[in-house]
Structure formats: structure tokens, C-alpha cells
Amino acid sequence: MKKALLPISCAALLASLACSGHPKPAKPGTGDIAFRLLWTGTSDLDLYVEDPAGSCIYFLGRRSESGGILDIDCNAGEENMCPQPIENVYWPTGTAPPGTYKFWVNTNSLLPSEVPIPFELQLLRGRKVVWRHTGVIQKYEEIFGPLLYDTTAGRNAVPIPGPPLEVHPLIRCRAKPPEQLPNKTIR
């Protein structure tokens, strides 16, 4: 009897793992300010946020000296696939520098069968979504933005379109490489 239960139990376990898909990403961080990107499908969209000092936070530079953190980066590879993709960049409470933030979306990988890809950009102050924009991505390497958000303009301020990026986001952000930051414990 035990021999029969073990294969059934293993089969049940394997079936539940196969059906459950990939683990859900951690809960996205919030704080003084957060920039969030949501979309559907398995294509990889990337969120870039440039802080007032000009440091970029994105998939190759997940932390900035000013305290910004990219804590969720979905669909960046087989191990990071998410059923409900999200990218989230935030500054924990008490760490966001005042000034103008620049943010944009870039299409890193695109499955033609998913085009057009609907997305939503959100801006949060604390846990409250204070601004949202919906759009669609139509082609590979398409860029939406940049948008500018000035934290000194008050809580009711909304992002405004910024001037076009003069170079590709990776070139722009690699020109200002992230500092080697010490590992920080985030609570």
C-alpha cells in the first residue's frame, strides 16, 4: 500500500507544481514615491526611472545612491516569468530626494503574437495611486515617454511629457553607471 501511495503522492506533487506556474513576485514596495509598470503576456517591458541627481534605476542598475530600488522585474528570463507582469521602482519612506524624476518604458523583448501589448503606468505616493496612464506597445524597442514628475510641485502634481530621449535608454543609463553600492538591508 505504501508503495502505491508514494508514486501517487509524487505525481500529485508534480502536477500541482506544473499547474501552479512560476511563483508570484513579492509584494511591490511602496514609500515616498513609487513608479509601477503593469502589462499582460510574456514579452519583457522595462521600466526606467532617473532620479533628480541623474542616476538611472533599471534592470542593470537595481539600486541608486539616493535610495531608489527596482524590487520587481518580471519576464526578464525564464526564472522571472510572472503571470501578471510588473516592474516596480520605489524609494522607501524618508529617502526620496526632492526634485524632478524622469521615467519611461522600453520594450526589451516582444512576442509578435502578443502585439499590441496593453500596459499601465502608475505613480504612487505612499500606497495611494495618484496617477495612472494606459497605453499600448506596438513594436520591438518602442519607447513610451519619458515623463517628468516634480515632487516639489505638491502632492496633486501629475507627470508631464518630457523631451524625447536623445539616445537609447541603455546607452543613456550606462553612460552614468550605477555606483557600487553596499548591500543594504531593506525592511
Flag whether pLDDT at 18 surpasses 90.
no
**CATH code assigned to 29-174:** 2.60.60
- Among 98, 114, 95, 103, which Cα is nearest to 41's? 114
* CA angle (124 as vertex; 120, 127 as ends), nearest 5: 120
pLDDT at residue 68, as a whole number: 97
- Among 55, 156, 133, which Cα is nearest to 96's? 55
Flag whether pLDDT at 31 surpasses 70.
yes
Flag whether pLDDT at 168 surpasses 80.
no
pLDDT digits (tens, 9 = 90+) for 35-78: 999 999 999 999 999 999 999 999 999 999 999 999 999 998 88
Of residues 20 and 27, more confidently modeled: 27
pLDDT digits (tens, 9 = 90+) for 104-151: 999 989 999 999 999 999 999 999 999 999 999 999 888 899 999 999
Q: What is the DSSP string of 77-93?
A: SGGG--SS-EEEEEE-T
**Using an 8 Å Cβ cutoff, are 57 and 90 in contact?**
no
Cα–Cα distance measured from residue 176 to residue 71, given in angstroms and rounded to the nearest whole number: 20
Per domain, the residue ranges of the chain are 29-174
Flag whether pLDDT at 21 surpasses 50.
no
Of residues 59 and 21, more confidently modeled: 59
Q: Residue 19: which pLDDT band, with cuts at 50, 70 and 90?
A: very low
C-alpha grid cell, residue 63: 539600486
Cα–Cα distance measured from residue 142 to residue 168, given in angstroms and rounded to the nearest whole number: 10
